[in-house]
Every structure is written in structure tokens, then in C-alpha cells.
């Protein structure tokens, strides 16, 4: 990804107007990366069926910065888990880069997740005994990258998020905003096509949240595809496009 190689970021793009997409495929303009069609996710709870996702249709283009918004329980995180190959839909289709994810074996889904998808979570999920450098190296360690290359790439990733002077600090020696930037560096060090961020500012104070959102916007301006889940309208407004969910359905787009 160019941002890791160059270590620089730029501002996010402009926003478009609200439209009602109730029954249409939602598309945001460049080469298509993801297509969801007729997607349902149903959980069986006792004698009842709970529909976490209902007939979702969505397209995401390469280079988009999409916010998925809505109240708690609206289906946002369920959608993100399916996009990240952490869960499977009950029915419907999911295409990633032209590949039907539903036809992939478990091993192929794992490889897709490791090579093409980066994750950023609300609570960072950093290993407390490892330094910032060690945490960022972890995905490369699992992928079999050599020690020398791991160190070089981790150093570049941390430099790109403004943490060159915190490389040898453990998580308990970092602020919340710095820990989230380490998590972002870890998420993009394998240069994934898609970055998924689940409430990335939810555990941060306002100043740190602004820094993280500026970083995500700058990464998107450098070409990184970002899908952000949030219930915060101010955070969602930073994205270049957005969908709003309610009761498992996409009910609006921007």
C-alpha cells in the first residue's frame, strides 16, 4: 500500500447527498471490490428466528471510504463480520474481488482474510507483553515473512502512523490514541485491499478520536479501501459515503 511505503497521508474526500436506496444495489463508483446480494443472516434462538441481516444488497468499490451507521442491534457488526470472513451468511451471495466467498473452503477463506483484509477494533487487541514493533510484526510472523523484512515493514508502518518514536514501547506505555494507531499499523502492514474498522474511536477521548479519524481519512486518500462501523454521526460524517442500517436492513445511503 502506498501509504506504508511513503509514510505520508492526505485529507479525506468530499461527501455526497443523502438518497433512499431501499431496494437498489448500492454502488459508490470505481472498480468493484465487494458485492453483496440478497444477504440474510438468521440466528435460531430457542423456538424463534432472529434476523440480524435482512435482504442486504451492497456494492463497495476499490478506494471507497464507507461508513456503516445505525443504532445498537441494527446489524452493523454482523455485516462487518461477514465482510471480514469471520461469519457466513445464512443465504445470499458475497463476492470479493470477483470470487464467490461462499464457494471457498475454510483454508481459502483464512488465506483471503490474512492477505486481503485488515481489522481495527474498539479495544485495540494488542498483546501487552509485546512492544509496538512486536505487535505490528505479528501478522507477518503468521504469514512466514522473514525476520529482517518483518522489522523493516513494521518500522515503516509505525512511521506512517506517526509512531517512529514509540517503536519499543509496550501498550501500557502508550496513550489510547497511540494504541489505536499501533492497531491500525498492524492492520495495514500486510497491505490488505480492505480495512475494516469496528467502532475504532469508541474507546478514545475526543482529541484521540479526531487523530484516528484523520489518519483513516488520509489512508483512504492514498487509495486504501476503508469500511467503518460506527453509531456516532460525527464519526460517520468523515467518510466519503455511508449507509444507515435499521433492524438488519440498509434503509438509507449517502
Q: Tell me the pLDDT tens digit for each residue of 103-124.
A: 999 999 999 998 999 999 888 9
Q: Is residue 42 a part of any domain in this protein?
A: no
Q: From CA 113, how far away is CA 156, in angstroms rounded?
A: 22
Q: Is residue 31 a part of any domain in this protein?
A: no
Q: From CA 37, how far away is CA 90, in angstroms rounded?
A: 12
The pLDDT of residue 158 is above 90: yes
pTM of the model: 0.84
Read off the pLDDT band of 30 (50, 70, 90): low
Q: Is residue 180 a part of any domain in this protein?
A: yes
Given the DSSP bridges, would you call strands 48-61 and 32-45 parallel, antiparallel or unpaired?
Answer: antiparallel
Q: Is residue 219 a part of any domain in this protein?
A: yes
- Domain hosting 119: range is 2-20+63-87+105-253
CATH number at residue 167: 3.40.50.300
Q: Is residue 76 a part of any domain in this protein?
A: yes
DSSP the chain: -HHHHH------------B--TTSPP--SSSEEEEEEEEEEEEEETTEEEEEEEEEEEEEETT-EEEEE-STTSSHHHHHHHHTTSS--SEEEEEETTEEGGGS-HHHHHHHHHHHEEEE-TT----TTS-HHHHHHHHHHHTT--HHHHHHHHHHHHHHTT-GGGTT--GGGS-HHHHHHHHHHHHHTT--SEEEEESTTTTS-HHHHHHHHHHHHHHHHTT-EEEEEES-HHHHTTSSEEEEEETTEEEEE-
The pLDDT of residue 8 is above 70: no
Cell of 167: 517503536
The number of folded domains in the chain is 1
Q: Is residue 236 a part of any domain in this protein?
A: yes
Q: Is residue 176 a part of any domain in this protein?
A: yes
Q: Is residue 246 a part of any domain in this protein?
A: yes
Q: Tell me the pLDDT tens digit for each residue of 35-86.
A: 999 999 999 998 899 999 999 999 999 999 999 999 999 999 999 999 999 9
Read off the pLDDT band of 174 (50, 70, 90): very high
Amino acid at each position: 500500500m502506498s501509504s506504508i511505503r511513503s509514510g505520508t497521508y492526505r485529507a479525506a474526500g468530499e461527501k455526497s447527498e443523502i438518497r433512499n436506496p431501499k431496494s437498489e444495489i448500492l454502488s459508490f463508483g470505481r472498480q468493484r471490490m465487494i458485492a453483496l446480494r440478497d444477504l440474510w443472516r438468521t440466528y435460531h434462538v430457542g423456538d424463534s428466528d432472529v434476523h440480524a441481516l435482512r435482504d442486504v444488497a451492497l456494492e463497495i468499490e476499490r478506494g471507497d471510504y464507507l461508513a456503516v451507521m445505525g443504532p445498537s442491534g441494527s446489524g452493523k457488526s454482523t455485516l462487518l463480520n461477514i465482510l471480514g470472513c469471520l461469519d457466513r451468511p445464512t443465504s445470499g451471495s458475497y463476492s470479493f474481488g470477483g470470487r464467490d466467498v461462499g464457494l471457498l473452503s475454510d483454508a481459502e477463506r483464512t488465506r483471503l482474510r490474512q492477505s486481503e483484509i485488515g481489522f481495527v477494533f474498539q479495544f485495540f487487541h494488542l498483546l501487552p507483553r509485546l512492544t509496538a514493533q512486536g505487535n505490528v510484526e505479528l501478522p507477518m510472523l503468521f504469514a512466514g515473512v522473514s525476520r529482517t523484512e518483518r522489522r523493516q515493514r513494521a518500522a515503516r508502518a509505525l512511521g506512517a502512523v506517526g509512531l517512529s518514536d514509540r517503536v519499543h514501547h509496550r501498550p501500557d506505555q502508550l496513550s489510547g490514541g497511540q494504541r489505536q494507531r499501533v492497531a491500525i499499523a498492524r492492520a495495514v502492514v500486510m497491505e490488505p485491499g480492505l480495512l475494516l474498522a469496528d467502532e475504532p474511536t469508541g474507546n478514545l477521548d475526543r482529541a484521540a478520536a479526531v487523530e484516528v479519524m484523520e489518519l483513516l481519512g488520509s489512508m483512504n486518500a492514498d487509495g486504501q479501501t476503508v469500511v467503518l462501523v460506527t453509531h456516532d454521526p460525527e464519526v460517520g460524517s468523515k467518510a466519503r459515503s455511508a449507509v444507515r442500517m435499521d433492524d438488519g436492513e440498509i434503509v438509507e445511503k449517502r
